[in-house]
Amino acid sequence: MRILFIGDIVGRPGRRAVRELVPRLRLRLATDFIIANGENSAAGSGITPGTAQEIFEAGVDAITSGDHLWDQKEVSELLAKEPRFLRPANYPPGVPGRGAAVFERPGKPAVAVLNLQGRTFMPPLEHPFLVADAEVQRLQSQTPIIFVDMHAEATSEKIAMARFLDGRVSAVIGTHTHVQTADERIFPGGTAFLCDAGFTGPHDSVLGREIEPIIRRFTSCMPQRFEVAANNILLQGALVDIDEATGRAVKIQRISEPLPAETQPPPGGATGSRVN
């Protein structure tokens, strides 16, 4: 089985990359299942039913999220009605939505997706390691193929989670920092790992935002409006091959796919952050 994971989708440029590239990548890479982190898909901050639907219509099978979960009030509708949308599993009991799901597929093994959020330099949630331990035990009774989005700031926390789950899940891929790392590997127990998948959106930017306001914020210490940038749009993530019988990863590779030059916006084009 081949699973494509797409790093944080940022605003309209990121959704454009998903819309244009995912159908092509599904065919070219012969992917069986596609997961995307969509927590920044609405104007670069949060997610709405509309932006989620656009991502699903492009061919994504499951959407994960993170610390920007609540940035758009419309997310409550997604949490209540959309089983393909996940929030971090380590929210306290009673919070709407789900942190893990098992996706049944005709004639194919089921795929479990688990969304976790770290606590180091992040908003305080329940203990992700204890939650992961319990959730993985539950999911293992349904399928050997378990894919984890570990949304965290600290690289040590991401690596520690992957080591903790090694041999029990198929992959642990980090999100949140928007900088694709070059440490992809498969741990001894068969768990694929990448510390950060990067982000999907405009890379002539500072983590997807226009450059000058970020510089002004650092140099003046004054508040600035951080609009989503526009140019050099890439889809980033990871491609993981998994043994269907055992759930062990057999291969992982980074993905950094540009929009074709003829479809990239012209220099100085509109950012697309003001409306969804």
Q: What is the pLDDT of residues 184-208, one digit of tens each?
A: 999 999 999 999 999 999 999 999 9
Q: Is the pLDDT of residue 272 over 70?
A: no
Is the Cβ–Cβ distance between 99 and 115 less than 8 Å?
yes
Other C-beta atoms lying within 10 Å of the C-beta of residue 18: 28
Per-residue model confidence (pLDDT) at position 107: 85
Based on the number of CB atoms within 10 Å of its own CB, is 194 exposed (0-12), middle (13-18) or buried (19 or more)?
buried
Residue 227, domain CATH: 3.60.21.10
- In the chain, how many domains are there? 1
Q: Is 91 helix (H, G, I), strand (E, B) or coil?
A: coil
Residues 119 and 231: their CA atoms lie apart, in Å, by: 32
Q: What is the pLDDT of residues 129-166, one digit of tens each?
A: 999 999 999 999 999 999 999 999 999 999 999 999 99
Is the Cβ–Cβ distance between 147 and 62 less than 8 Å?
no
Please tell me what DSSP assigns to residue 9.
Answer: E
In a domain, 276, yes or no: no
Q: Which residues are catalytic?
A: 68
In a domain, 264, yes or no: no
In a domain, 160, yes or no: yes
Q: Is the pLDDT of residue 274 over 80?
A: no
In a domain, 270, yes or no: no
Per-residue model confidence (pLDDT) at position 269: 52
Q: Is the pLDDT of residue 1 over 90?
A: yes
Per-residue model confidence (pLDDT) at position 261: 75
In a domain, 225, yes or no: yes
Per-residue model confidence (pLDDT) at position 260: 83
In a domain, 90, yes or no: yes
In a domain, 271, yes or no: no
| CA 190, chain centre distance (Å) | 21
Per-residue model confidence (pLDDT) at position 46: 95
Q: What is the mean pLDDT of the chain?
A: 94
Residue with the bigger pLDDT between 260 and 99: it is 99
Residue with the bigger pLDDT between 125 and 276: it is 125
Residues 272 and 42: their CA atoms lie apart, in Å, by: 10
In a domain, 275, yes or no: no
Q: What is the pLDDT of residues 11-65, one digit of tens each?
A: 999 999 999 999 999 999 999 999 999 999 999 999 999 999 999 999 999 999 9
Residues 67 and 116: their CA atoms lie apart, in Å, by: 10
Domain assignment of residue 137, given as a range: 2-259
